[in-house]
Amino acid sequence: MTERLVVIGGDAAGMSAASQARRLKGPEELEILVFERGRFTSYAACGIPYWIAGLIDERDELVARAPEVFREKQAIDVRTAHEVVSIDTDARTVAVDDLDAGTRSEHGYDQLLIATGATPLRPPVPGIDAEGVFGVQTLEHGQRVLDAMDERRPERAVVIGAGYIGIEMAEAMLLRGLEVHVVEMAAQPMSTLDPEIGAKVAEAMGRMGIHLHLGVAVEGIETGDDGWIRAVRTGEGTLDADIAVLGTGTRPFSDLAAEAGVPIGPSRGIVTDRRQRTPVEGVWAAGDCAETFHRVSRQPVSIALGTIANKQGRIAGLNLGGSYGGFPGVLGTAITKVCEVEIARTGLGEQAARDAGFEPVVATIDGLTRAHYYPDAKPITIRTIAERGTGRLLGAQLIGEEGAAKRIDTFATALWNEMAVEELLNVDLSYAPPFSPVWDPVLIAARRADSAVRSAG
């Protein structure tokens, strides 16, 4: 008898799961039906700021696999412009709106995967839904921004929020030639960074000509007679704006699951086990909408990253296809850039380590990405967090220029394996003058952290 798998959401987690399940079971064993409310599948949302900046020419370059490819080559029935509006877990059915036809239908399932992703946070201020205020979570969102750029020819942009998307969109608007203001409630950009590194990010953005308004709240959006944004009102005054972009972060889009009685965790993500099963029989979840756990803090977290979504989708697909897989958790490793400055982090920052019950020891070093005598050696600053007494690595953050940021992967690998900083400083890393000094900045950082741990006793 053929089983039916229904997938809600056709991007990273959903299509990774569907594809993996299909590799294990053919159409005669498993029917796979995917509902996606947008018009694209398997696209690189992380590339949207670079497309808006003009660094990527065509929207379709961000699409890894179109819906028709899934239908024709993998027998996965993908239905775009179809929004699931409710789930009945007792009857094992979903109600679906066809957004083009304007009709509603009901579909049964044997197994259901919820991969609804994340939704942008919108400050609860007057006018936030005005024309000209954009989120940038989907390709449709990105297209609206570009259409507005072409039609309105804006000169002044305000980015609301200075998280990863916020600073990437600030760079995009700067590269498009706009005057850029960034308004952030926190005292620094990228609040997941320790203040010492966050201050360096702010300094670098200022040098680029981005106007930062830190510790400032948005109080409202003002519009012209045509309903289009004309200014952003803040706690320190009013900023003229021809366009505004939301960079205030996201939250798991778990509302549909919650309404169906699927448990939601403290991070607002859908509760799952290591196999991506929810506590409700026949219901699974993966990606930005799902909760996982942090391998260092051991706390439940929801982190909206394509890397995590694809991995969780693969695990769900293995299990849905009759095999076995377990998702081992996350470190929160992330990387970004603003113009020539690269920024990265993994694990816990100093305060997060304290909040998790650790007694952290912190060390910071300044170094170079290449041998000092080799052309184009660039600066790099690394902040390392270790546990007092054991010297166990708890986290790392860095900022630098070309060749700096991917060094975070060495820290992430050490962190994944619960290494002490003393072990890390003896790792046999590669060396040649075009790539690093003889003591790579990673090793210098580990050595400095080890000395700090020894001094702390």
Q: Which residues, other chains included, contact 255 with Cβ-Cβ below 8 Å and sequence gap of 6+?
A: none
Catalytic residue among 4, 29, 44, 46: 46
- Residue type at 41? T
Question: In which residue are the tokens 């205030």 written?
Answer: 248
Among candidate residues 344, 360, 49, 324, the one with its CA nearest the CA of residue 180 = 49
Q: Is 289 labeled as catalytic in the residue annotation?
A: no
- Indicate the pairing of strand 393-400 with strand 292-293: unpaired
CA distances from 397 to 267, 283, 315, 376, 379 (A): 23, 37, 29, 22, 14
The count of other CB atoms within 10 Å of the CB of residue 397 is 28
For residue 100, report the phi and psi dihedrals to the nearest 5 degrees: -85, -45
CA distances from 453 to 355, 360, 387, 393, 446 (A): 19, 9, 8, 11, 10
* H-helix or E-strand spanning residue 78: strand 76-80
Task: State how far the Cα of 328 lies from the Cα of 271, in Å rounded to an integer.
Answer: 15
Residues serving a catalytic function are: 46
